A and B are shown apart, each in its own frame.
Chain A
Amino acid sequence: GDSVTQMEGPVTLSEEAFLTINCTYTATGYPSLFWYVQYPGEGLQLLLKATKADDKGSNKGFEATYRKETTSFHLEKGSVQVSDSAVYFCALRKGQTGANNLFFGTGTRLTVIP
């Protein structure tokens, strides 16, 4: 079945370090891919998305490229800040009948220390 696998955390980085959070997916067809971010005590917010192969989503310095050949959507940021500390969720969604077509990874907790 369709699924998303993302790297387990927690991830702890120093401020200004480079961030990569790996995400791979299993799906038939052509899903859309998303990264959501959850700050402490809050709901999820969309960080970025890509809807077709080779698309690059970007927002707030974060980037992810939809790689169909490797079924991946890794999240990257060149220089993290303390304010980036949060839980990051990779997700895929397929356009098919039925709303139960959204699959989330288990989340990766990032802590950035000054």
Chain B
Amino acid sequence: DGGITQSPKYLFRKEGQNVTLSCEQNLNHDAMYWYRQDPGQGLRLIYYSQIVNDFQKGDIAEGYSVSREKKESFPLTVTSAQKNPTAFYLCASSMGRTSGANVLTFGAGSRLTVL
């Protein structure tokens, strides 16, 4: 079955450590996204990528970094510069790049807790 796989599902980090969240899709989608979800705040876009080797900052990119070396993969690194990293992180993908009707497919999420 096609879909998006995020790992790990739960992650604990000490302050000052970088962590990388994995996102892999086998849907042959061009575009991939990372969102952050905090209670009562909905989803906020961190980074997005429309094609391989290209990505753009979203609304809250500070303290995060990404890469898109392969179409299937879009890992997110939460760096020590991110002041409040404890959150639920969602990866998504969609066909095409700009069509308004294209639906996003989401992964199951990764919950990061900073101790």
Contacts and interface: CB of A to CB of B under 8 A. Distances in A.
Interface of A: 30-32, 34, 36, 41-46, 49, 51, 89, 93-102, 104-107
B42 A43 contact: no
A107 to B, nearest CB: 5
B58 A100 contact: yes
Contacts, number: 72
Nearest to A49: B103
Nearest to B108: A43
A101 B33 CA distance: 12
Interface in B90-111: 90, 92, 97-109
A37 B46 CA distance: 21
User: Does more than half of chain A's interface fall in helix, strand or loop, or is it mixed?
Assistant: loop
User: How big is the B interface, by class?
Assistant: 20 to 34
A14 B31 CA distance: 40
A95 B100 contact: yes
9 contacts: A32-B101, A43-B90, A89-B43, A98-B98, A99-B31, A99-B50, A99-B97, A100-B59, A104-B43
A95 B98 contact: yes
In this complex, the member of B33, B100, B106 whose beta carbon has the largest number of chain A beta carbons within 10 angstroms is B100
B42 to A, nearest CB: 4
B52 interface: no
Given A98-B56, A106-B40, 12 more contacts: A32-B100, A43-B92, A44-B43, A44-B90, A44-B104, A45-B106, A89-B42, A95-B101, A99-B48, A99-B50, A100-B48, A106-B42
